[in-house]
Structure 1
Amino acid sequence: MPFGLKSVLLGGCCCLVFWAGCGDVPVPTALEVQSWTFQDTSGLWRTADVPGSIHTDLLVHNLLPNPFADQSELDVQWVENRDWTYRTVLHSPPDDGEWALEFAGLDTYAEVEVNGVGVLSANNMHRTWRIPEADLSLAGYDTLVVRLLSPIRMGQAALDGSPWPVPASNEAKPIGRQTSAVTRKAMYHYGWDWGPRLATSGIWKPVRWVRTDLELPPFRLMVESADTAMANCRVRWERPVSDITARLQKDGQDVAMQWVRIDSVTHQFTVAHPDLWWPNGMGDQPLYQLLLSGSDGQRANWRFGIRTLAWNRAPDAHGHAMQCVVNGVPVQARGANVIPPDFFPVRAETRWRRVIEDAVAAHMNMVRLWGGAHYGDERLYDLCDEWGILVWQDFMNACAMVPGDAAWRANFLAEAEQQVRRLRNRTSLAIWAGNNESEKAWRDWGWQDMYGLHGADSAAVARAYQVVFEAALPELVARLEGGEYQPSSPHHLDLEQPKASGDQHDWGVWFGKTGFEYYTDEAGRFASEFGLQSLPDRRTLQEVGVQDWTDATLQFRQRCTMDWLEPGFDGWDMMRHYAAMYFADPEAVDVANWTGGDRLAAWTYMSQLTQAEGLRQAVERHRCSQGRTSGSLYWQLDDVWPTVSWSTVDHAGRWKLAHHAVRHANQPVRIVPDRSASSWMALNAGPDPVRGTLTWAHLSLTGDTLTSGQRALDVSAFSEARLSFMPWSQEALCAWSWRNETGQIVDEGIFFPRPVSQVDWPASSVRVEPTGDGVMLKTGAPTAGVWLRAEHAGRFEDNGFLLLPHCPKRLRFLDPDGAPADPGLVRVTHFAEVQSALKPSI
């Protein structure tokens, strides 16, 4: 029988039991250890949640203010400086078989005791720890204690023992007290420019007994070649095996396969006429089940998609390519960077589904799991496998160098080995990067002067980095057949020409104050970061105590400082810079004469419109680069807490206008303006040819038709076409509709090449007609930046768009579960209202 699970009661302790089939007799393979307590500051023992953290346990018992509300982050900093103790009664596993006590995640420094005897010293949040039952002196009813030591105290001791400073400039502490670089813990816990400092401790993953004698050795499953006729697959074991039998299933039905033993560590199998797995938008994501059985009852069951994946880094006209290739087809990566969707991992696990749903809804096919966080749980990768989201996986190190001692290096490499083994067979896994921005930071951020690292010290720090990321880690990934690896993100083959190879973190827009044409003029080979800040939905801010623009809590959330531009310059100033360039300075709006709301509403509207336009242009410019830029992963999709940040979906799950914009820009089948050539591109990233008719019209700013046309337009699968026949105008709106042979609209849109701020938009009013599950919108003149706000929870199918006269727009309203719903009272704001309320000067 395949795996199942059941709850049983063992000695009064409720445990989760995973069953493996062994003939007709179910065999337990994992028993979860539960009923934990923790000791509070008064010495009282209280119930604890495992998995969890000390912060979330203190919150449950009202011993801590909500660190997300108001400025309570400052009031809970004491937690990081204390040790914390957890305990439970440990019941022995069944007598049959060989068992080990497994700690899937301890954050971070932990001393584990059984009956007062030390059995484990852990020092890495990202590792799993096992203790064989044979190494434990158990009486059948035993006390298990986990003492979590202050990560700050332990980290400071490690830092003080280093012969040189270890740079970690993103940590919110002064030099000499930045301990994140020497501690194997999620680095965002120490503060970032989009998140709080909450250096928590906890048992953040399950503790359980696992039956080790029923485990097969680790193996690498590789699809070596595949097309619609035949797939050739290989299973390579890390230890010799014998008498392994295999079955292949799809949708619960057996699939014919040829299973052949090549030698003691290798099996091969073939599948005739396989259903291939494709990234989202390029095809379907069928998944097979490989069920493996050993002669002594060992079992393994792995779900996978049949696909090939490689990276093209060959020389080309622009330097060296960097493009993912799936099933022989080049992939234009469209996606975003993701961070944990809640600060506390136990709460983030329940939110990952929403994050990936939002990625799929925005037509993404890749996400980057950023290296300053923690590796995802199994469900996250399951979702990516199921929905066709390729994963760019950073190893966990960000904006920091590394210690040079052998113990730290061994700890990090043990973590990496576990994670590569865990993730290497994932169909969605596309690439590993050694770290986030550490290579670039050492080269460009002035750390040598900032940290006083010169001469021998500078050489030693550089050498410690190179040993890990340029020698040991690539060797480890290659030995374990983990897939594509690069030492850092960004990383280039030629430092003198960084745009000609590798990936880029394109921050000329934002940190460089350049205009959006930067995304064309400075295009690299793969944009793995770029972005703009905006405010979240007002309700998201209200939920943490923000009522208006002047609230100290809101100002407290702005963590992006740029003193190198000018003293005191921060994210608010940069948002004003870009809003004024493309829309309007929110401080220039006379809110007393504006119908859209107060100063906070002006900031929210202008910042979200600007972010939407910037990300839309970036993605469209990348897609029109004719092979130069093969990936667009903006920073960032989600938030760890309610804040002002670069996210396109706020912490409460409310879409900003930018998420609607990237949804349009990412559409697999799309007409896209090529601003660099003043022409149009028809893009078809899908698996089927599109044959049909393109209709277009140029309109004046009063809504009158100036020119129009119609032309047959056929675009093959996975290809693009330049539309030389479709005229371009700098002064007119262009509206188009592309219909296929059956008359179905495959794409439609409206485009105006000039910044909205440069146009005197006609006065107009938008009529809202309820439809029961949404609205019908009508206007008498071209209306830019239509912003809809609903009374009820949910979102409209589209928002932040340009509405034309004589073109009613019907929009459904979707509740938080994605079902059509009544939006309630709908408030409409548009940009002409802002223009009419602008102060003469500011």
Structure 2
Amino acid sequence: MADLVNRASAKDLAGNWTLHATDESISVPFPLPGDALSALIAAGVLPDPYVGENELAVRWPAERDWIARRSFALDAEALAYPWAIHVDGLDTVAEVRINGRPVLAAANMFRPHRAEVGDALREGDNEIEIVFRSNVAAATEAAARQPFELPYSAQMQAMPHINLLRKVQCHAGWDWNIAMMPFGLYGDIRLERIDLPAIAYVQHRQRHDAATGAVDVDVEVRIEAKAAGEELLTVELGDEKSSLQVAFTAGTTVAATTLRIENPRLWWPVGSGDQPLYDLTVTLGGAAHRQRIGLRRLEVVTKRDEIGVPLTVRINGLDLFCRGANWIPGDALPSRITPEAVRPLLEDAVAVGMNMLRIWGGGQYEPDWFYDLCDELGILVWQDMMFACALYPADNAFLAEVDREIEHQVRRLSHHASIALYCGDNEVIGALTWFEIARANRDRYLVAYDRLSRTIELAVNRADPERLFWPSSPSKGPMDFGDAWKAEGSGDQHMWDVWHAGKSFAAYRGVRPRFASEFGFQSFVSLSTLRRYIDEEDLDIASPAMELHQKNAGGNARIVETISRYFRFPKNFENVVYLSQVQQGLAMKTGIDFWRSIKPECMGALYWQLNDTYPVASWSSIEYGGRWKLLHSMAKRFFAPINVVAIPSADIATVGLFAVNDTPSEVVVAGNAFWLSVDGARRPAGDFMKTVPVDRAVLLLTVPANGSPDEVLAFNWSDPSGEHFDHHAVSPYKALRLRDPGLVVEAAKRGGGEWCFTITASAPAFYVALETDPYGVFSDNAVLVTPEAPVEIIWTSRSGDVDPVDSLVVHDLHSSYRPSEIVIRRAS
């Protein structure tokens, strides 16, 4: 929660501004906080950048300077006090003027800026301006000032040298993001009285008494003041309260007190327990600061073992397998990143069994409300610092700016129960080997990287010494500057050979990471989403509009080539989209099933990526706008806390069925395996029943891989969560001579925006997928339907009380390449 300042001591300057071109040829309303491109779109100056080929028509504003302006009034009484201007989230190279006088200059959107305004204020009307310098021009100018070249990923970024600015790196484009270089102000802007002390940060440390279970919470309050003084400081935590008279000096004073919670309710990640939060309130004179904190023991285990360096999150003494995904900014236009838009994405992560998100280092430190939501929902956060896929300056001025940024962000975030660890960067160690100039001058660039990394580490440890600082992702551990991309046994790993190198999905089973923090496979967004942004005549993967909505070079070709590797070739564009999503889910399931089966050697799998910034072919499991791809529905099954997975042996001679238990209790798993023919016949392959210990994977059954070319290995099982069914195809699905399954889908309204779809088949139907427009969420999707086992799927509307039946589209593997009879009817 944000600092709450006494109204008498601050004047909020957010609200209605106007945005002006420097030559005054354009003037539009500009609500702040917000970004300028959104204001220009709302005023009709720019088209919707997400539609068709409009991206190319919205880049020009970033190449110009702009001025934001508003007026405010001050009376004589207010002018009797000294004031400072405070801005937060100012993007990026900008100057603030009051009544024509420059009062503040900024060049880092990741930290607040504050400056005394002196006698710039006057009684009555005042005018404040923010001059936004072109960040494109500023980056080019910064490049010219560097003593040596600092390369960046030009294949992903349409606007160069953003690595030289402390700005969201993907604003210049990425291999899943539109290149628009937005600018604006996304946080607070206010005048503050500086004759009164202010609460800068509130942090705490927890000491858990193993004998009694009580928790001592040591609270530190950083007070900033212009002059020495004394005030009553009150700290309240739940029902506990501490008050003390604090004498503070000019500058920064740290006051501390301890409160004891005798019978604490512990905070757990979702799936492991509850998420109780305690209100922590600090008051000092007229200033107040409120937070919600969770009481838990957090450790990230990195002590070398017989394999290497693990990376295991331990909460309240329980080792946790981290199931989840990578998070990128919620929208390419910052004005659209709101709690209302983001909460459903986080809730949908929890809905499919995720307990961790990695906030990726090419995006942004998220707003306070984002971490509040993670605390509330029980989502652990791997927090990258904002450096990614490039080489960065290491001069004293840049490092001093980084130091201030990191200290601020870590002090701001440290109270959140959800923050599991801080990571120095994304793939910057790896970038040392990407560029010819860096390879030719490795020592120079390695020294520069080391200076940057040490600056980040020192700032993190100064601001929050309780949590782990992990130097980079991927990394084998501190002070190891080697290639961690394919290194097994230690640290975290990014496994990209399946997508970028075109290796088979089975290649995931050839690596044994301690923590798989990035891996992914692309798909197209659903046809319903595509039709909102692409004209019908352009719904072709080779059309200019579709290619512009694919940011990874060769991505469309790779999707199609992979389809032909695993499936029979689809009969039309609609089924290309469908199969792209099936194979994406199959790729992620292949890796995650294996890595869960080798726990505790591997203790985390975060696929790339959860969300999209705009409608684009990408690695996401949730499309822009919130629609679930088939991957997200499949994740609900492969991320289940208790699961049974099929793992072929290295020589493909046998298939092992493993039970995986991520719960805090031992469980009994019982079931049977059988070979399922394309005509529905079943051939027994064995039974199993075993007790699976806490946080372990256990081999249940080994099955000889002796199925016929028209059989898949299927298996049923029961566990404390219910009855389950899955299958494993020993050969590619294209080898199966599928029958027309004669699918019948019967729809029945249940009320409350819910419908039940009952699916029956006369022969096995693989990856039966339902899609509706209006949009809603299916309880399951991409399912195997057999003659003996009809499937019920519940659809919950996210479009109000609507009837989805007339829009229902049904896909399965057979109908993707051959005519099939699919009947959709309403229940009588």
- State the TM bucket, normalised to the shorter chain: 0.7 to 0.9
Match of 1:623 in 2: 596
Match of 1:760 in 2: 737
Match of 2:293 in 1: 304
Distance 1:804 1:733, change over 3 A: farther
Structure 1 residue 202, shift from structure 2 partner: 1.5
Structure 1: where are the runs of 5+ without partners? 5-16, 21-25, 562-569, 592-598
Cα contact 2:489–2:512 (8 A) shared by 1: no
- Is 1:827 aligned to residue 809 of structure 2? yes
Q: How does 1:287-686 map to 2 (within 5 A)?
A: 287-294=277-284, 296-349=285-338, 350-443=340-433, 445=434, 447=435, 449=436, 451=437, 454-455=440-441, 458-469=442-453, 471-481=454-464, 483-493=467-477, 495=482, 498-547=487-536, 548-549=539-540, 550-561=542-553, 570-584=554-568, 588-589=569-570, 591=571, 599-676=572-649, 678-686=655-663
For residues 809 and 314 of structure 1, the distance between their equivalents in structure 2, rounded to whole angstroms, comes to 47
For residues 343 and 264 of structure 1, the distance between their equivalents in structure 2, rounded to whole angstroms, comes to 39
Distance 1:664 1:28, change over 3 A: farther
For residues 391 and 211 of structure 1, the distance between their equivalents in structure 2, rounded to whole angstroms, comes to 35
Cα contact 2:781–2:793 (8 A) shared by 1: no
Cα contact 1:171–1:190 (8 A) shared by 2: no
Q: Give the counterpart of 2:718 among 735, 738, 741.
A: 738
Q: Give the counterpart of 2:19 among 38, 53, 63.
A: 38
For residues 422 and 171 of structure 1, the distance between their equivalents in structure 2, rounded to whole angstroms, comes to 34
Letter in structure 1 aligned against 2:459? L
Structure 2: where are the runs of 5+ without partners? 225-229, 247-252, 750-754, 821-828
Cα contact 2:655–2:705 (8 A) shared by 1: yes
Cα contact 1:261–1:267 (8 A) shared by 2: no
Distance 1:818 1:114, change over 3 A: same
Range moving further from structure 2, 688-697 or 627-636: 688-697
Structure 1 residue 496, shift from structure 2 partner: 7.2
Structure 1 residue 695, shift from structure 2 partner: 5.4
Structure 1 residue 139, shift from structure 2 partner: 2.4
Match of 2:825 in 1: none
For residues 782 and 641 of structure 2, the distance between their equivalents in structure 1, rounded to whole angstroms, comes to 21
Range moving further from structure 2, 673-682 or 184-193: 673-682
Match of 2:199 in 1: 216
Match of 1:798 in 2: 780
Match of 2:67, SS state, is strand
Match of 2:236 in 1: 247
Range moving further from structure 2, 53-62 or 723-732: 723-732
For residues 713 and 557 of structure 2, the distance between their equivalents in structure 1, rounded to whole angstroms, comes to 31
Structure 1 residue 618, shift from structure 2 partner: 1.4
Distance 1:496 1:290, change over 3 A: closer
For residues 206 and 217 of structure 1, the distance between their equivalents in structure 2, rounded to whole angstroms, comes to 14
Distance 1:257 1:625, change over 3 A: farther
User: C-alpha deviations, 1:32-63, integer Å up to 9, x for none?
Assistant: 43221111465353321111222111111111
Range moving further from structure 2, 433-442 or 36-45: 36-45
For residues 264 and 637 of structure 2, the distance between their equivalents in structure 1, rounded to whole angstroms, comes to 32
Structure 1 residue 709, shift from structure 2 partner: 6.7
Match of 2:258 in 1: 268
Structure 1 residue 102, shift from structure 2 partner: 1.8
Structure 1 residue 807, shift from structure 2 partner: 0.8
Question: How many matched pairs?
Answer: 782
For residues 189 and 138 of structure 1, the distance between their equivalents in structure 2, rounded to whole angstroms, comes to 38
Letter in structure 1 aligned against 2:557? D
Cα contact 1:310–1:325 (8 A) shared by 2: yes
Letter in structure 2 aligned against 1:545? I
Distance 1:134 1:172, change over 3 A: same
Range moving further from structure 2, 688-697 or 112-121: 688-697
Cα contact 2:222–2:255 (8 A) shared by 1: yes
User: C-alpha deviations, 1:512-566, integer Å up to 9, x for none?
Assistant: 22122222211211111100110001121111124221532002222212xxxxx
Distance 1:321 1:242, change over 3 A: farther
Cα contact 1:384–1:390 (8 A) shared by 2: yes
Match of 1:8 in 2: none
Match of 1:197, SS state, is coil
Distance 1:746 1:278, change over 3 A: farther
Cα contact 1:516–1:618 (8 A) shared by 2: yes
Structure 1 residue 64, shift from structure 2 partner: 1.0
User: C-alpha deviations, 1:172-199, integer Å up to 9, x for none?
Assistant: 568xx72211111111111111112101
Match of 1:319, SS state, is coil
TM-score (norm. length: structure 2): 0.88
Match of 1:36, SS state, is strand
Distance 1:18 1:222, change over 3 A: closer
Cα contact 1:155–1:183 (8 A) shared by 2: yes
For residues 407 and 525 of structure 2, the distance between their equivalents in structure 1, rounded to whole angstroms, comes to 39
TM-score (norm. length: structure 1): 0.87
For residues 257 and 618 of structure 1, the distance between their equivalents in structure 2, rounded to whole angstroms, comes to 50
For residues 28 and 818 of structure 2, the distance between their equivalents in structure 1, rounded to whole angstroms, comes to 59
Q: How does 1:78-89 map to 2 (within 5 A)?
A: 78-89=60-71
Range moving further from structure 2, 38-47 or 191-200: 38-47
Letter in structure 2 aligned against 1:507? W
Structure 1 residue 237, shift from structure 2 partner: 4.2
Distance 1:317 1:818, change over 3 A: farther
Match of 2:102, SS state, is strand
Distance 1:281 1:410, change over 3 A: same
Q: Give the counterpart of 1:229 among 213, 219, 234.
A: 213
For residues 369 and 184 of structure 1, the distance between their equivalents in structure 2, rounded to whole angstroms, comes to 17
Structure 1 residue 358, shift from structure 2 partner: 1.7
Q: How does 1:112-131 map to 2 (within 5 A)?
A: 112-131=96-115
For residues 135 and 616 of structure 1, the distance between their equivalents in structure 2, rounded to whole angstroms, comes to 64
Match of 1:13 in 2: none
Match of 2:57, SS state, is helix
Distance 1:491 1:708, change over 3 A: closer
Q: How does 1:648-727 map to 2 (within 5 A)?
A: 648-676=621-649, 678-691=655-668, 693-694=670-671, 697-707=674-684, 713-724=690-701
User: C-alpha deviations, 1:688-737, integer Å up to 9, x for none?
Assistant: 44457545555333222322776655445444433248887655432313
Cα contact 1:695–1:710 (8 A) shared by 2: yes
Distance 1:746 1:416, change over 3 A: farther
Match of 2:374, SS state, is helix
Distance 1:751 1:98, change over 3 A: farther
Range moving further from structure 2, 630-639 or 720-729: 720-729
For residues 802 and 468 of structure 2, the distance between their equivalents in structure 1, rounded to whole angstroms, comes to 42
Cα contact 1:791–1:823 (8 A) shared by 2: no
For residues 644 and 404 of structure 2, the distance between their equivalents in structure 1, rounded to whole angstroms, comes to 48
Distance 1:452 1:289, change over 3 A: closer
Structure 1 residue 100, shift from structure 2 partner: 3.7
Cα contact 1:696–1:735 (8 A) shared by 2: yes
Structure 1 residue 124, shift from structure 2 partner: 1.1
